[in-house]
Amino acid sequence: MSDTTAATAVFDALVGHDMGPYFATPCGVLAPLLAQLQERADYHVVAREDNAVGMAAGVALTGGTATVLMQNSGFGQSVNALASLVVPYRIPMLLIISMRGTPPDPTPENLAMGRLTEPILDGLGIEHHYLSAGRANDQIRDARRTVVEKRHSHALLVRPDEFDWEA
């Protein structure tokens, strides 16, 4: 599946399951998906990941559903907002986190967060799965159930090569 086709499958699933608004920080791995989302009025580029989590929490507190898209290095930046606001008060949102520092990304500055992202999500009690563009519709439908019906946040992790990113 090409990067555009894979990104389109994920985009269609996000929009089809009404997972917006979308709050994102720039990310090379997610760039093909972000390029499609940026055409939407409910897409917002945010400077910091913890701010994106706060904005998504605001949407959830008004009864809406929101998605935060970020790199796992930025996920590290957002841990306090998740641990002190989102998790204890069961504020639901979908997190889409690119997994830099995992194969095929050999960049040394990303290796630590590549190892730590899943254990941190586990410690926060946030259910997570790896996104597969071929199964995006089912995965996002299931994530929506977790977010809307169970009122829990859910994370979909994106391998660096899911949208054909290369180091």
pLDDT at 166: 79
CATH of the domain at 135: 3.40.50.970
On whether residue 20 sits in a domain, the answer given is: yes
pLDDT at 164: 85
On whether residue 22 sits in a domain, the answer given is: yes
pLDDT at 40: 96
Q: Round the CA-based radius of gyration of the chain to a whole number and report it.
A: 14
Q: Residues of 87-124 as b/e, b for ≥16 C-beta within 10 angstroms?
A: beeebbbbbbbbbbbbeebeeeebeebbebbbebbeeb
Give the contacts of 60 (CB within 8 A, at least 6 positions apart).
66, 91, 92, 93
Rounded to the nearest 10 degrees, the angle between the axes of helix 72-81 and helix 49-61 is 50
Angstrom distance (rounded) from CA 120 to CA 143: 19
**pTM of the predicted model, to two decimals?**
0.95
On whether residue 36 sits in a domain, the answer given is: yes
pLDDT at 4: 64
On whether residue 167 sits in a domain, the answer given is: no
Instruction: Give the residue numbers spanning the domain of 35.
Output: 6-158
Cβ-contact 45, 70 below 8 angstroms? no
Cβ-contact 16, 138 below 8 angstroms? no
pLDDT truncated to tens, each residue of the chain (167 aa)?
555 688 999 999 999 999 999 999 999 999 999 999 999 999 999 999 999 999 999 999 999 999 999 999 999 999 999 999 999 999 999 999 999 999 999 889 999 999 999 999 999 999 999 999 899 999 999 999 999 999 999 999 999 999 988 77
Give the contacts of 41 (CB within 8 A, at least 6 positions apart).
none
Cβ-contact 91, 119 below 8 angstroms? no
Question: Total structural domains in the chain?
Answer: 1
